[in-house]
Structure 1
Amino acid sequence: MREEEGRSFADFVAREQAGLLRLAVLLAGDRGHAEDLVQTALLRTYRHWPRISRSGPPSAYVRRVLVTAHTSWRRRLSTSEQVVEAVPDRAAPAAADADEELRTALRALPVRMRTAVVLRYFEDLSEQQTAELMGCAASTVNTQTARGLARLRAALTPLTPAHGEELR
């Protein structure tokens, strides 16, 4: 890669890395895994940077690589066994702020649903752009988004007593 292209890539990373990490955290639900995803996406992008940068804005390409990497990692994890000596104790949920509650609710969604919701509402992509990144039809994006939002509403709506009743 020429020096000029190397600088172009470095400028792109400096500009976009925070946004890519934010997207990856929302997709993966874990900052460490998200950082790995971003590094994987940037490495794959770097290999083909001259071609990618000439063909238009590279942000969409990198987001696509990020989503694809996340999907393939999830598939690998779901088909492989992970043996541990002892099951870790789960910490009692602390009094979390609204952002943490949202992240927890997002992590509870199935991968495709979470991906659709994150790309549509956190990345503010259109249905068609989201469908292209996910490799599916726009109607699938609509279905996954609607179901994901319904689950998020249910998970985030505080239990309120019916009129005249007391919560136990």
Structure 2
Amino acid sequence: MQTISPFLWFDDQAEQAAELYVSLFPDSRIVSVSRYPEGSPGPVGQAMSVTFELDGLGLQALNGGPAFTFTEAISLLVRVETQEEIDRLWDALTADGGEPGQCGWLKDRWGLSWQIVPPVLFELLADPDPERAGRAMQAMLTMGRLDIAALRAAADG
């Protein structure tokens, strides 16, 4: 049993966010939704909290109001093997008001930060040849959405 999980505070769209997220990743599902009852601080019937899984990782989302917002100080790192997966997730997560960032980072429409990164990037940056690793690093620093072929080409010189 997973005893530690991310807890995400949304203004009022936790359920919509969870629905999008589970639609994007395999082995994902909404586990449960608790709704605000009569006499509570939220609108009756609106999702209060959503328990969901993304590729087996358990998360909680709360509709807690506008008191807190997301920052880049925390992000969800997604390792993907292919350029097609990078492109699919990048496009889906930046759609409808999301924002592209640098070096594989983006914000979704709710302001949650994500990193969409191919494992080859970590391999290239850890290359024992410092010049090869440096060329990969310099290429990454010029990118928003990461480009696997361009990273490899840069590393190879």
TM-score, normalised to structure 2's length?
A: 0.29
Q: Which has the higher contact order (CA 8 A, sep 6+)?
A: 1
Greater helix proportion: 1
TM superposition score normalised by structure 1: 0.28
Larger radius of gyration: 1
Higher strand share: 2
